[in-house]
Structure 1
Amino acid sequence: MADPYSTLGISKSATEAEIKSAYRKLAKELHPDRNKDNPKASEKFSDVTKAYDLLSDKAKRAQFDRGEIDADGNPAMPFGFGGGGGGFRGDPRGQPQGGFGGFGGDGADFGDIFEGLFGGRGGGGPFGFGGHSAPPAKGANVGYRLSVSFIDAATLAMQRITLSDGKTIDLKLPAGVETGTQMRLAGKGQPGPGGNGDGIVTIAVKDHPFFERDGDNIRLDLPVTLNEAVRGAKIKVPTVDGPVMLSIPAGSTSGKVMRLKGKGFSRKGGGRGDQLVRLMVDLPANDADLAKALEGWTDSRAVRADLGV
């Protein structure tokens, strides 16, 4: 993988917020659901997710910046060895898989090599070191993509996911969930000598036909008839929790925003956002009765005076 900073299009001094913002933008553009006819987009989506996985982890980012690991999370080549095709043979998640290139022969154990260099476990080696072998590596992490409906994300509905071993588990979505949110499933990755790796679930929240997210709030444009707007009315309004009744004040105009408290997304700090309902007066086309009713009546207000016309 290329340099993770370049992959996300950010500088090495980028803040956590800038890293998250860059990832969200790219993940939305490249998500496979939106690029079904473009296989390269799926590859790029995988790359930006791996870059975000590294840079969003403070410890991994610091290791990368110090040159201790590469962009794939593999340990950097120690002591300058590895010329002529040497290096770790790792899986895409950066877990060593045995061999250490440049030493001749497959299946060399990394711990054994260090034991030879530093005199074994607790022994005084030829260099005077009393080093210990590296701890056994955990298995590779396994990545999953979970597509969640808008309403399920807003209400934190339980989600079922099938793991690589065929087993299914139910996941509780975290408050504040959004596209790009990652959940770690401890021990649900590949097996390894040091234990299983983890499962990393990346969430993608689907768009909704008429709800729109605005931070923790949800916006809805609500059509109302002329008589409902003029006389006022109680009307049924959809929310992510189901329909509720809303009282429209008499004399309401298009663009008036009404608030349904607690009908938005769950907040990370607790509670929920609101649903903001914008009234849109919907007039019938070519209605003879309406035209007749307005005969002789004119609204003489200067409604565009604030616009300078």
Structure 2
Amino acid sequence: MADLYSKLNVARGASEADVKKAYRKLAKELHPDRNRDNPKASEKFSEITQAYDLLSDKDKRAQYDRGEIDENGQPKATFGYGGSPFGGQGQGGRRPGAAGGYGGATADAGDFGDIFEGLFGGRRGAGGPAGGFGARRSPPAKGADMAYRLSVSFEDAASLAPQRVTLSTGKAIDLKLSVDAVDGKPMKLTGQGEEGPGGIGDAIVTIAIDPHRFYTRDGDDIRMTLPITLEEAVLGATVRVPTVDGPVNFSVPKGSTSGKTLRLKERGFHKKGGGRGYQYVTLSVDLPADDAELIAFAESRRETQTRNPRAALGV
């Protein structure tokens, strides 16, 4: 049987910290949950766990170093020790370092708990914390999670409209959008993944918002540019403006110019703390290209125009 130190790739005089570090590294590489298609890795995992089991116990490690016990924690097969020439336990003898059933000692449970919590979030994997005889088996694996990317229209994302989703199994479900999902956080649908011996996995849905032809998102707010006529800008008017919840009436103030921005309350995206953002509407005066009357009016105005709208720019 291979030397326990060589199994962990450490020198015989290695410190407790070095032994633990070596075991953590190997356990992470060989853990059965990460090598489900490699039975040799599971066997190797049991071997290194058994090695760490013994070497992490100061008394048993000392006995092992003195040659009193073997790699399984059993007394060496020598005459006069324990009364048996074949490694058995004599009438008056006690197997040094024994801790429970036949097949090797068990390391302190708290020590293994710290290791497995750091490696696998506190979950004990296949083979348990002690290899060889008496090793604990991991529970049956749950089915795999299924990942989905769901495209949602800009309007539906802003209003959190329910979505109809068809899974790979062919099952259609109604999905209620959340603020976190619209912000890009994956949604978990419990029990909608693949089946497995330990239960059904989950469906993980990530929302992707489709771009819009005239809306843009600005945090919880929505921005858009609204074309208006010259008459509406000069005289003021009530016009229809689109929102993600449908068109609404909108007042354009008298004497509005291109670039003027107004806002609509509660027409943006839903906020985490409740309520909704604004919809900002930037006005853009749309002039006809070949309107003879407008051209004549502009020419008449040019004759008497003295105001310089660019004076504030220093030109």
Report the CA distance between 1:176 and its aligned residue.
5.0
Q: 1:128 aligns with which of 87, 105, 111?
A: 105
- Deviation string 1:212-244 (CA, Å, 9 cap, x unpaired) is 111111111000000100000000000001000
Return structure 1 stretches of 4+ with deviation > 6 angstroms.
66-69, 110-119
The 5-angstrom pairing of residues 17-56 of structure 1 reads none
Instruction: Provide the C-alpha distance between the structure 1 equivalents of 2:241 and 2:308, rounded to a whole number of angstroms.
Output: 32
Q: Which residue of 2 aligns with 1:182?
A: 186
Do the aligned residues in 2 keep the contact of 1:229 with 1:248 (CA within 8 Å)? yes
Report the CA distance between 1:296 and its aligned residue.
2.6
Q: Are residue 101 (structure 1) and residue 78 (structure 2) matched? A: no
Q: Which residue of 2 aligns with 1:55?
A: none
Q: Which residue of 1 aligns with 2:314?
A: 308
The one-letter code sitting in structure 2 at the alignment partner of 1:127 is G
Q: 1:291 aligns with which of 281, 295, 300?
A: 295
The one-letter code sitting in structure 2 at the alignment partner of 1:100 is P
Q: Are residue 211 (structure 1) and residue 244 (structure 2) matched? A: no
Question: Given the superposition, is the C-alpha separation of residues 270 and 115 from structure 1 closer, same or farther in structure 2, using an over 3 Å criterion?
Answer: farther
Runs (5+) with no aligned partner, structure 1: 1-65, 70-75, 82-86
When normalised by structure 1's length, the TM-score is 0.62
Report the CA distance between 1:140 and its aligned residue.
1.3
The 5-angstrom pairing of residues 41-120 of structure 1 reads 77-78=26-27, 97=36, 99-102=38-41
- Deviation string 1:152-207 (CA, Å, 9 cap, x unpaired) is 11111111111122111010000254363311111211222332221111111100
Report the CA distance between 1:80 and its aligned residue.
7.1
Instruction: Provide the C-alpha distance between the structure 2 equivalents of 1:254 and 1:276, rounded to a whole number of angstroms.
Output: 14
Q: Is the partner of 1:152 in helix, strand or coil? A: helix
Q: Are residue 245 (structure 1) and residue 222 (structure 2) matched? A: no
Instruction: Provide the C-alpha distance between the structure 2 equivalents of 1:191 and 1:111, rounded to a whole number of angstroms.
Output: 28
Instruction: Provide the C-alpha distance between the structure 1 equivalents of 2:289 and 2:313, rounded to a whole number of angstroms.
Output: 27
Do the aligned residues in 2 keep the contact of 1:176 with 1:216 (CA within 8 Å)? no
Superposition CA RMSD, Å = 3.4
Q: Which residue of 2 aligns with 1:276?
A: 280
Do the aligned residues in 1 keep the contact of 2:23 with 2:49 (CA within 8 Å)? no
- Deviation string 1:59-115 (CA, Å, 9 cap, x unpaired) is xxxxxxx9999xxxxxx752876xxxxx75x7xxx6x64643357xxxx8x899979
The one-letter code sitting in structure 1 at the alignment partner of 2:39 is F
When normalised by structure 2's length, the TM-score is 0.61
Runs (5+) with no aligned partner, structure 2: 1-20, 54-71, 73-98, 108-129, 131-135
Aligned length: 222
The one-letter code sitting in structure 2 at the alignment partner of 1:300 is T
Instruction: Provide the C-alpha distance between the structure 2 equivalents of 1:268 and 1:113, rounded to a whole number of angstroms.
Output: 49
Do the aligned residues in 1 keep the contact of 2:50 with 2:104 (CA within 8 Å)? no
Q: Which residue of 1 aligns with 2:154?
A: 150
Determine what percentage of the aligned residue pairs are the same residue. 51
Question: Given the superposition, is the C-alpha separation of residues 204 and 179 from structure 1 closer, same or farther in structure 2, using an over 3 Å criterion?
Answer: farther
